[in-house]
Amino acid sequence: MSGPSPTLRAVRPLVMGVVNVTPDSFSDGGLYLDAGRAIEHGLALVAEGADIVDVGGESSRPGAEPVAEDEECRRVVPVIEALAGSVRVSVDTVKPGVARAAVAAGATLINDISASLWPVAAETGVGWVAMHMKGTPPTMQNDPVYQDVAAEVRSFVLSQATEATAAGVAEVWVDPGIGFGKTTDQNLALLHHLVELVGGGFPVLVGTSRKTFLGRLAPGADGRPAPPQDRLAGSLSTATWAMLAGAAMVRVHDVAATVQAARLVGPTRLPRRPTTMPTTMTEELDAKVAMRGMCA
C-alpha cells in the first residue's frame, strides 16, 4: 500500500495547524475571516512549528450549513497562495471545484471529510485524506448509531483509501473522524482502538482539538462543559494518546504545545524502549511503527 512520500516520514509525528477562514467555526469562527488575518495566523502557526497548515472556508461543526462554492474559493484561495511559499498547505473542503482551485493556488493535500474527492487528488497529483463522517454536518450528531464504531469506521476509511491508491493517488491518509457523527463514548472507543486503524497500513491523521466531547469530559467548576478556549489539556492529552498509538499526524489549533509533545513522543516510538514497558505492548507498538516506516 502507498504511504506518505519520503519527505513526510519523520521520527516524530507531524502537526497540522488549523486556519479557519469562516464566520462560524466552533472554536475560532470569525477570528480569521479576513484574508490578511488568516494569513498572519497561518504564518504564526508556521513559526510555532506546524508541518502543514490546513485552510478551510466552510465550517463542518455540527449543524453547519453549506457555503456556495464561489464564496468558499474566495475565502481560501488568497490564503493558500500566500502561505504556500512558507509551508505545506492542505485544503479542508468537500467540493471538487474548491479542491482544484486550492491545488492551483499551491495546496498539496486535500483534507476531505466526505472521503469522496480521491478522483480530484488522482487528477491533480496531490495527497488526500479520507475521513469518516456519519451523515453531514447539519445532521451528523442526530443520534448516531453503530454496531461496532471502531470496526465500521476502520472498514470504511481503509476501503476508500485502497480505492484511491488503486486510482493512482500516491499519498493517502485515513482519519477516523472524531466528533463527526459520534457520541462521546464512540469518540473514546475510536481512540481506544486507534492502534488497530494504524495497523491498516495507511498513515493516520487524528483531530480531537478543542472538540465538544473534551468539554463534556472535563467540565468547568460550575459543572457545565468547558468552552473551546478551555480545552487545551484535553486536546493535548488526546493528541498525545493518538501519537503514542501510532498516529502519523494530529490536527490542532494549539500548535506550539502539540509540537513540543510530538517531539517528546517521537523518541518513545523507536524500537528501543524501556524494559519496564510490558513486552506485549512494546512489541505491538513497535510492529505498528515499523510497518508504517515512521522510524527513519
Catalytic site residues? 211, 251
- What is the residue type of 81? E
Residue whose entry in the numeric block shows the C-alpha cell 494569513: 39
Candidates 185, 138, 129, 199; CA nearest to 157 is 129
Other Cβ atoms closer than 10 A to 233: 12
> CA 279 from chain center: how many Å?
30
Q: In what order do the strands lie in the sheet with 109-112?
A: 172-175, 127-131, 109-112, 88-92, 52-56, 14-20, 249-252, 205-206
Helix (H, G, I), strand (E, B) or coil at 272: coil
Torsion, Cα of 261, 43, 86, 248 (10° steps) = 30
User: Across-strand partners of 173?
Assistant: 129
Write the CA distances from 9 to 78, 114, 143, 262, 296, integer angstroms.
29, 26, 38, 14, 7
